[in-house]
Amino acid sequence: MSTFFCSLIVMALRVRADLRLTSTYFRRAKTMKIQFIAVSTLVIALWAAISGTVRAVEVAGGQTSVALDTALLASAASLNLSSVSADVIAPGSLPGSVAFPINSRTAATLPTTFTYNPATFPALGSFAGAIEHQGSVFFNANSVEVGDFTIGFNAARAGTLGGQASGFYVESTTGIAAILFDLKVNGANPQPTSLVVDADLLVSPEFGSFLLSGGLSTANLQGADVGDARVSATAVPEPASAALLGVGLAAWALHRRRETLSLHNRS
């Protein structure tokens, strides 16, 4: 065999060896890249969950119990309780109360939109949206109706009524469509899967003016404590929060599966 052909064979063997090394390098590099991406995604997701980025949860259901001082409403505001609608729950979780179901987030009308951070609620910036309800209360032989209540928040209301108002309010969206009460929050127990808030019901300036101008009261009752309320809500993680953690776990699971298949193929 000529020297020329021998040289070609040697070169071909060297190229083949180099290609094998290159292929191995790229396979290892690809594996390391996948591993890096999987671990990084999982670490980011876990860090976000721990640090509070993935801490927002959504109110998904539950009920709000209301115990009105019916004697005070009758004597001071000429409002005599006569009945409640069929969807109102009796009794509620407070003594002498009834409860209004909290609308789901997919309700056709007035869907609940409230989200909160269990670690920092009720600090400003730790919540958003509104809690919506169904059910009505009737007074004066069913001639006066309030119902389908919204619990919302307006920072401008915080600190009013002699510093008692928290900024949260109760608004009737059927019958008398107005803000009825400002809430004086007495306690809150925010958890990742539930939210309980206890509050006093203070007659709002709007409702006080309505009662006075309508001749139902002889004095403006704004700020008067006419009952108690307890929000007992169920909660679920925000979709974005759950998705981020899910992506991290899925990426790690995919990486582990590829490692297992690689070991199996080598054996």
pLDDT digit string, tens, across residues 70-116: 999 999 999 999 999 999 999 999 999 999 999 999 999 999 999 99
More confident residue, 64 or 7: 64
How would you class 209 by CB atoms within 10 Å of its CB: exposed for 0-12, middle for 13-18, buried for 19 or more? middle
Instruction: Say yes or no to pLDDT of 60 above 70.
Output: yes
Report how many helices (DSSP H) and strands (DSSP E) the chain contains, helices first: 5, 14
Instruction: Say yes or no to pLDDT of 24 above 60.
Output: no
More confident residue, 239 or 251: 239
Instruction: Say yes or no to pLDDT of 178 above 90.
Output: yes
Integer Cα distance of 170 and 179 in angstroms? 6
Q: What is the DSSP string of 229-250?
A: EEEEEEEEE-HHHHHHHHHHHH
- Predicted pLDDT of residue 52: 46
Q: Token pair 């998705």 is at which residue?
A: 243
Integer Cα distance of 47 and 245 in angstroms? 10
- Predicted pLDDT of residue 215: 95
pLDDT in tens, 115-165: 999 999 999 999 999 999 999 999 999 999 999 999 999 999 999 999 999
Instruction: Say yes or no to pLDDT of 169 above 70.
Output: yes
Q: Is 100 helix (H, G, I), strand (E, B) or coil?
A: strand
**247: which 2 tokens?**
């992506």
Integer Cα distance of 170 and 182 in angstroms? 6
State the amino acid at position 266 in one-letter form. R
- Predicted pLDDT of residue 53: 47
Cα 114 from chain centroid? 5
- Predicted pLDDT of residue 19: 47
31 φ, ψ (degrees, to nearest 5): -65, -45
Mean pLDDT over 178-197 rounds to 98
Q: What angle do CA 54, 167, 122 make, to 5 degrees?
A: 30
Integer Cα distance of 222 and 181 in angstroms? 9
- Predicted pLDDT of residue 26: 47
* Cβ–Cβ < 8 Å for 97, 245: no
- Predicted pLDDT of residue 43: 46
Pairing verdict, β 81-84 and 57-68: unpaired
State the amino acid at position 139 in one-letter form. F
45-54, 73-82, 131-140, 203-212, range with the lowest pLDDT: 45-54
